[in-house]
């Protein structure tokens, strides 16, 4: 009888110790737990692939899917250059580059690369995933983002902007941001933004899940931030019911990141793949 009692006490103690150990591991690894939670949520949502590019060729990008992003007045577009020297496929990757090389008939201090899917592919609601890596540097500004195909709610920021990933300078975080007439101030800053950790010098997967009521941001399948539609906010708060297209660019040297330290050049973002899904019926 005594031996049975001792065995029972020992069994209870063993169960308690195992439970305590598992709880401690959970508390010490919140990101891993978060990743499991996100994966469970995604498991219940079925998706259908509607657009992808794995950049498996060499040379120029697929012109049936992308065009060069044009040079313009916004800071990110100031040095964009429609040249295969600044956007090209190599080794199964899309290479977006920025440097200070001199071009005889284009005398600007820097040249940079960007492409967009405007007028070739856009979406209203769905999931966008982009696997990419980039180097750091003072003045650097790589970005993965979305803009409205037709700005039906007015000029920027009124018709919205979805920044899946932006990085500046030497920061150890990426920025995931919403712009619209409600959250964006006169200086271009947004109150709807989140800083997320990422694996430096490695490929990371940056993604959004966009529905009629919310836009959720992820890094490596871990949920970071959700912007929700306000039922009473109107188009000023939620202009995200129209088609948006994709932009991939390596910019810098103007606006947010400030001036370039030429010792850090070239700036390069490599994109492994892009995948876009819609919710399956």
User: Tell me: the pLDDT tens digits for 219-238?
Assistant: 999 999 999 999 999 999 99
pLDDT, the chain, mean:
89
Q: Is the pLDDT of residue 40 over 90?
A: no
Q: State whether residue 259 is helix, strand or coil.
A: coil
CB 73 within 8 A of CB 244: no
Choosing from 166, 200, 202, 270, the catalytic residue is 166
pLDDT per residue as tens digits for the range 258-274: 999 999 999 999 999 99
Which structure tokens are listed for 184?
A: 């964006």
Q: How far apart are CA 157 and CA 161, in angstroms?
A: 7
pLDDT per residue as tens digits for the range 139-191: 999 999 999 999 999 999 999 999 999 999 999 999 999 999 999 999 999 99
**Other residues' Cβ atoms within 10 Å of the Cβ of residue 62:** 14
Q: Is the pLDDT of residue 256 over 50?
A: yes
pLDDT per residue as tens digits for the range 65-78: 999 999 999 999 99
Q: How far apart are CA 185 and CA 182, in angstroms?
A: 8
Q: How far apart are CA 130 and CA 128, in angstroms?
A: 7
Q: How far apart are CA 173 and CA 178, in angstroms?
A: 17
Comparing C-alpha atoms, which of 267, 278, 225, 281 is closest to residue 97?
A: 267
Q: What confidence score (pLDDT) does residue 17 get? A: 52
Q: Which residues of 232-242 are buried (b: 16+ CB within 10 A; e: fewer)?
A: eeebebbbbeb
Share of the chain above pLDDT 90, in %: 84
Q: Is the pLDDT of residue 19 over 90?
A: no
pLDDT per residue as tens digits for the range 196-212: 999 999 999 999 999 99
pLDDT, average across residues 124-152 = 98
Asked about 166 being catalytic, the answer comes back as yes
CB 69 within 8 A of CB 80: yes
Asked about 161 being catalytic, the answer comes back as yes
Q: How far apart are CA 208 and CA 226, in angstroms?
A: 9
The answer to whether the Cα torsion of 137, 276, 75, 62 is positive or negative is positive
């Amino acid at each position: 009888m005594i031996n049975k009692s001792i065995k029972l006490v020992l069994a209870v103690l063993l169960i308690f110790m195992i439970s305590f150990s598992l709880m401690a591991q959970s508390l010490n690894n919140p990101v891993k737990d978060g990743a499991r939670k996100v994966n469970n949520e995604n498991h219940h949502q079925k998706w259908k692939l509607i657009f992808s590019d794995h950049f498996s060729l060499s040379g120029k990008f697929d012109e049936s899917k992308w065009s060069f992003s044009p040079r313009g007045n916004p800071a990110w577009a100031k040095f964009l250059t429609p040249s295969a020297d600044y956007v090209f496929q190599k080794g199964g990757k899309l290479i977006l580059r920025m440097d200070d090389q001199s071009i005889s008939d284009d005398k600007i201090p820097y040249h940079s690369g960007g492409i967009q899917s405007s007028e070739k592919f856009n979406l209203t609601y769905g999931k966008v995933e982009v696997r990419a890596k980039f180097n750091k540097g003072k003045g650097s500004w790589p970005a993965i983002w979305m803009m409205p195909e037709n700005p039906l709610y007015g000029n920027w920021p009124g018709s919205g902007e979805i920044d899946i990933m932006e990085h500046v300078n030497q920061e150890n975080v990426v920025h995931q941001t919403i712009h619209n007439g409600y959250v964006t101030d006169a200086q271009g800053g947004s109150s709807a933004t989140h800083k997320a950790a990422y694996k430096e010098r490695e490929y990371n997967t940056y993604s959004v899940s966009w529905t009629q009521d919310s836009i959720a941001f992820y890094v490596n399948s871990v949920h970071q931030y959700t912007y929700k539609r306000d039922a009473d906010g109107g188009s000023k708060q939620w202009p995200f019911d129209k088609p948006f297209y994709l932009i991939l660019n390596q910019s810098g040297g103007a606006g947010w990141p400030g001036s370039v330290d030429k010792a850090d050049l070239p700036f390069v973002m490599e994109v492994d793949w892009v995948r876009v899904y819609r919710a399956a019926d």
